[in-house]
Amino acid sequence: MLDVACGSGRHLRWLHAQGFAVTGVDRDASALAPLEALGRVIVADIESGPWPLTGETFDAVVVTNYLWRPLLPTIVASVAVGGVLIYETFAAGNEAFGKPSNPNFLLHAGELLWACAALQVVAYEDGVLSTPPRRVQRIAARRQAATAAPLESAP
């Protein structure tokens, strides 16, 4: 399981408690230090440095409250065949509720659907949540196994 921009490890802790092998990546070394006993933690600035997990795929990728558009294709590519992506972050319209309000950090309408076009969408939501009030997009999607092309019948 991979938690992108995992911060203090809320999801890593829960996933580890469920028995999953976990990997977390974040740029804050002090936030990651207490998480080292849970699994693999990687200190990396994924916005200005290289992606530290090139070529690796995961059975599950979790991203919450984080958006760096140039990384969206890499995050989707990190989902293994049969694996899932769970992504939730703020969307346009959140400025009515507070921060973040910078459009650079707010998803456009349908943006997660577009970003996950290579995956099978299991669930998608774009709307206002009440506690705390915020506008978000959420997606749960899985990477299906590649299937062979159907055989053409002889004329």
- List pLDDT tens digits, range 101-148: 888 899 999 999 999 999 999 999 998 988 888 999 999 999 998 655
Is the pLDDT at 154 greater than 90, yes or no? no
Domains of the chain, CATH where assigned: 2-142 (3.40.50.150)
Q: Which residues pair with 120 in a beta bridge?
A: 142
Supply the pLDDT for residue 55. 94
Q: How far is CA 147 from CA 58, 79, 106, 122, in A?
A: 20, 17, 35, 19
Give the sign of the dihedral formed by CA 15, CA 16, CA 20, CA 22: positive
DSSP string covering 53-111, please?
TTT--EEEEEEES---GGGHHHHHHTEEEEEEEEEEEEBTTGGGTSS---GGGSBPTTH
pLDDT at 152 over 90: no
pLDDT in tens, 44-78: 999 999 999 999 999 999 999 999 999 999 999 99
Averaged pLDDT, 10-32: 96
Q: How far apart are CA 112 and CA 126, in angstroms?
A: 9
Dump pLDDT digits (tens) for 89-105: 999 888 989 898 888 89
